[in-house]
Chain A
Amino acid sequence: MSYDLVVIGSGPAGYVCAIRAAQLGLKTAVVEKRKTFGGTCLNVGCIPSKALLHASEMFEEAGHGLAALGVKVGAPELDLPKMMGHKTDTVSANVNGVAFLFKKNKIDSHIGAGRITAPGKVEVTAEGGAKTTLETKAIVIATGSDVMPLKGVDIDEKRIVSSTGALELDKVPGRLVVIGAGVIGLELGSVWRRLGAEVEVIEFLDRILPGMDDEVAKQAQRLFQKQGVKFRLGAKVTGAKANAKGVTLTVEPAAGGEAEQVQADVVLVAIGRRPYTEGLGLQEVGVAVDERGRVTIDDHYRTNVPGIYAVGDVVIGPMLAHKGEDEGIAIAEMLAGKAGHVNYDAIPAVVYTQPEIASVGKTEEELKKAGVEYNVGKFPFTANGRARANLATDGFVKVLADKATDRVLGVHIVGANAGEMIHEAVVLMEFGGSAEDLARSTHAHPTMSEAVREAALAVDKRAIHI
C-alpha cells in the first residue's frame, strides 16, 4: 500500500490530522495500536472522565444542592454499575464516531503497533503478529503520552491505579489518596469524593495546579477544601505497600524530615504524563528526542529526519487534546501546501472540577517574570445575578491586559461552566483584542458571562455591578 500520509496514533492529534489531510485530497492511512480509535482522550481520558464527572456532580447535586432550591428528593442512591455504563456508552459513541469519520473521509485504518523502519516506511504489527508495511510520502507521529510512573509506587490498576484504573473502580473506595495535585488528580479525586470517598491529595510542590495563576490555584484549593478534600502539600511519596486490605504509603516532607505512614484503600498516581514513543523505531531511523523524551520538532513540526513529522502530546507544549488537534490540522495543511498555523499564545486550558477552572494566555506570575506591565480586572461571581440564582457564586473572573495597549494577555476564570465561558477570551486574544473591546461587546443578561465583561470593565476600573 502506498500513501501520501500515514499517521501513527488516532488520538485527537492523529485522527484530526488524518481527516484534515483527507479533506485536502491526500491519500491517508492511520495506524492505531488500540482496538478502538480516539487514543487516550476518547478511551481512557477526557471523555470517560467527563462522563463520570457529570454523573457524580448530578449525584452530589441531588444529595446536597437540590434541597436548598426547594426540591426534596431524599437521599440519593448510587448505582455505580449504571454510572459506569453511561461512561462506557459515551466512550463507544465517540470512538465509533471517529471510525465513521475515517470511513466517510476514505481514510484507511490499520489496527496494530506502528514502527517506522525507514523514512517513508511504516511497519504495522497486528495483535496476532502479522506484519504489513505501508509505503508513504510523509509520516506524522501522533503517538501521544502515557502515565508517568512514580518510583516506589507500582501501579497495579487495582489498589494502586493510574487515571485509567481510576475510571474503572468497581466500588467507591473508603479512602482515596491522590498523588499529584494537577488536573487529572483533582478531577478524578472530585469524582470519587462526590460518590462518597474520603480524598486526600499529596503534592510535592507547595501549591496545587502548578503552572496556573497563583491566585486561581489558591482560590481553587480553598473551594476544594470546603468540599472536603484534604491537601498535603510539599510532601513526597517514597514508597507504597499494597495488600488485600489496602495500601500503606510512606510520605516525607519534600524539604526532608520524618517519614510518615499514610493509609489508603486506593491510591491514584497522577503526577503527570510522559511522551509515548516505545517501539516506534525512532532510534533506528535517527529521529531526535529531547531530554524529556519528546520528539524534537521545528516550527513546522518537522523532525530532524525528512518526511517524518510529529504533533500532539509527543512533542513540546501543553499536553492538551485541543492543542494536539490544532497541530494535527496545521501539519495536514502544511503537507497539502497550505499555510497551517497554531497560535500557542491563545490555547485555553480547563480543569473540569466543580467549579471549573479555565484559563487562556499568561498568568500574573508569567507577566511579572517577563517584566510586562499589566492591569488587572477582577469580578467575583457573588456579584453576578445569574450566579446567585443558580447558587453558583463560587469563583471569579480575572482579566490581565497590557498596561500600555490594553491588549488582553490572559484571562482566568474560576466558576461554574468556566470551560464554556473562556472561549470569548480565546477569540478576543486570537484577534489581538483589548479589554475595552471585550467590555464594549454586549453580553446577554442574565448570564454568568456578564462577569467576564465586568472583569474587562474592571481593567479600566469601571465595573458597574461592584
Chain B
Amino acid sequence: MATEIRVPTLGESVTEATIGRWFKKAGDAVKADEPLCELETDKVTLEVNAPASGVLAEIVAQEGETVAAGALLGAIMEGAAGATPVAPAPKKEDAKAAPAASAPAPAAAPKAAVENGPAVSRIAAESGVNPAAVAGSGKDGRVTKGDMLGAVARLASAPAPQAEAPAAVRAPSAPDDASREERVRMTRLRQTIARRLKDAQQTAAMLTTFNDVDMTAVMELRAQYKDAFEKKHGAKLGFMGFFVKAAVAALKDVPSVNAEIDGADLVYKNYYHIGVAVGTDKGLVVPVVRDADMLSIADIEKQISDYGRKARDGQLKIEDMQGGTFTISNGGIYGSLMSTPILNAPQSAILGMHRIEQRPVVYKGQIVARPMMYLAVSYDHRIIDGKEAVTFLVRIKENLEDPTRLVLDL
C-alpha cells in the first residue's frame, strides 16, 4: 500500500511553497509523524510529517521546486519499515539483479500513486508545468485539465519576478573578486520581504513624521513594578506593552491610521490587530497581537514573548501573522537612533521605535538629562493627512509620557 505525501493546507492567501530540503531520501525508513521535508512559504517555514510509517518510496517534488497546496510530494510504501534496515535501500541495479522471488523491493514502488489523464499529460508536455506540483481537484486528488489550465494561466498572468526587473543583469566581477564572492539563493521569505517592501513603496504615497518622547514615566513605572509584574504574570514588563496600548488609544482617536485603501473605497477597521516586528535569523516576521484594545498590558507582553520564542524556533503559524491593522517596529533594540520604516501593506501606517538615551532637554526651564526616544511614523498620504499623522504621533507621545492617560482612557 502506498500512502501519498501531499502539501498540507498552507493557510489563506498562501497557495504555493518551495521545497526547502528533504530530511529523508528515497529508500529511507520513516516513522509516522516524523518530519520528512521543509516547505518555505511567503510567510513561514513549515515541516511536512510522514502520514504513515514505512519506506519513503519516492520523492516527486525535489528541493527548490515550487509546489501548490495539495500537490504530491512523494509516497510512502507501508509495511516495509522493518525490512529496510536489514537490506538498506536497494539500488536500481541491485533490484534488477535480485531474484523476483525475494522480498519485493520497496524502492521499485509504482511511479506515482496516480496516473495523469491524457489531457493533463498533453498540457504538461506543452507547457512544462509539472502536474505533481499542481493541486488536484479531481477524484482522489487527481489533477484535471482545468487544474492544469489554471496553473498555466497563473504562470502566464504572473510573470516571473525576474522578468519584472528587466536588464538587471549584474556586471561581471573582476575574476580576482569573483572567486571571493558567494552566491546564495534568496529564501522564499527573503524574496517575499523584498517584493512586499518594494510593492509598498511603489503603491503608497509614503512619508515619515518624527517626534520624540520622554520615557521617564514609563521607565519609572517599570522600575517600580517590574518584579511584582513578573511575579504575578510570569512575563517581563517590557516597553512594547506600553507602546501597543499607546498606539491603540491613538488609533481610536485617528481612525484613518487604522484604515486601508481597497480600490476606490476606504476600509475603516473597528478592531485593532497590532503587528509587532520580530527579527529572526531568516529575516523579519511580523506576528499579530489580535484585538489588542481588549488585552491588558500583561496579556500583550505575554503574547509578544510567546511570539518571539516561536519566531526563533521557526514555529510561527501563518494565522499568527495575518490580519494586522497597524505595525510597530523596534529598531531601538539594535541601537537605531532614527529611521524611516516602510509600510506593511496594505496597512496605512507603521510606528518606528528607537533607542532610549539620556539626552539634554529643557524640562521646566532647566536643561536636564532625560531618557529620550525618537519616534517615527511612516504613513500613506493617500489616506492619512499630515495633520492626522502628526496628531496620531503626538497622542502616542502623550500617552507614553503620562501613562495615567491610558488608565483613564483620555
Contact = CB atoms under 8 A, between A and B. Distances in A.
Given A431-B138, A432-B137, A407 B118 contact: no
B122 A434 contact: no
Contacts of A404: 146, 149
A407 B142 contact: no
A405 B149 contact: yes
Interface string A427-466: 0001111101100110000000000000000000000000
Contacts of B120: 437
A441 B119 CA distance: 10
A441 B118 CA distance: 7
Contacts of B144: 405, 407, 431-434
B146 A434 contact: yes
B138 A406 contact: no
Nearest to A431: B139
Interface string B295-313: 0000000000000000000
B168 to A, nearest CB: 35
B43 interface: no
B145 interface: yes
Contacts of B335: none
A360 B60 CA distance: 36
A441 B117 CA distance: 9
B138 A437 contact: no
A213 interface: no
Contacts of B139: 430-432
B134 to A, nearest CB: 13
A74 B120 CA distance: 56
A146 interface: no
B117 A407 contact: no
A431 B120 CA distance: 12
A432 B120 CA distance: 12
Interface string A377-420: 00000000000000000000000001011110000000000000
A406 B119 contact: yes
B151 to A, nearest CB: 12
A437 B149 contact: no
Contact of A405 (B122, B142, B146): B146
Q: Main secondary structure on chain A at its contact with chain B?
A: loop
B142 A434 contact: no
A440 B145 CA distance: 12
Most A CB contacts (10 A, CB to CB) among B118, B137, B144, B145 go to B145
B43 to A, nearest CB: 29
A436 B138 contact: no
Contacts of A433: 117, 119, 138, 144-145
A373 B280 CA distance: 49
Contacts of B119: 406, 433-434, 436-437, 440
Contacts of A406: 119, 145-146, 149
Contacts of A437: 117-120, 145
A405 B152 CA distance: 12
A372 B150 CA distance: 17
Given A437-B117, A440-B122, A432 B138 contact: yes
Given A431-B138, A432-B137, A434-B117, A407 B122 contact: no
Contacts of B150: 405
Contacts of B137: 432
B160 to A, nearest CB: 24
Contacts of B142: 431-432
A246 to B, nearest CB: 55
A405 B136 CA distance: 13
Interface in B379-393: none
A432 B137 CA distance: 8
Nearest to B123: A436
Contacts of A430: 139
A441 B115 CA distance: 14
Interface in A347-381: none
Nearest to A406: B145
A431 B145 contact: no
A440 B118 contact: yes
B6 to A, nearest CB: 17
Interface centre among B119, B142, B144, B146 (most CB of A within 10 A): B119
- Most B C-beta atoms less than 10 A away, residue of A405, A430, A434: A434
Nearest to A401: B145
Nearest to B140: A431
A430 B117 CA distance: 13
Given A407-B144, A436-B122, A440-B122, A431 B117 contact: yes
B67 to A, nearest CB: 20
B287 to A, nearest CB: 37
Interface in A30-82: none
A309 B35 CA distance: 43
A131 to B, nearest CB: 47
A283 B118 CA distance: 53
A433 B149 CA distance: 13
A172 to B, nearest CB: 48
A346 to B, nearest CB: 10
A437 B148 CA distance: 13
Contacts of B118: 436-437, 440-441
Nearest to B117: A437
A402 B146 contact: yes
A432 B136 CA distance: 10
Nearest to B144: A432
A39 B142 CA distance: 38
A431 B117 CA distance: 9
A436 B118 CA distance: 8
Given A431-B117, A434-B144, 5 more contacts: A406-B145, A431-B142, A432-B138, A434-B145, A440-B119
Interface of B: 117-120, 122, 137-139, 142, 144-146, 149-150
24 contacts: A404-B149, A405-B145, A405-B146, A406-B119, A406-B145, A406-B149, A407-B144, A407-B146, A430-B139, A431-B138, A431-B142, A432-B138, A433-B138, A433-B145, A434-B117, A434-B119, A434-B146, A436-B119, A436-B145, A437-B118, A437-B119, A440-B119, A440-B122, A441-B118
Q: Which 6 A-B pairs have the closest CB atoms?
A: A405-B146, A432-B138, A440-B118, A434-B145, A436-B119, A432-B144
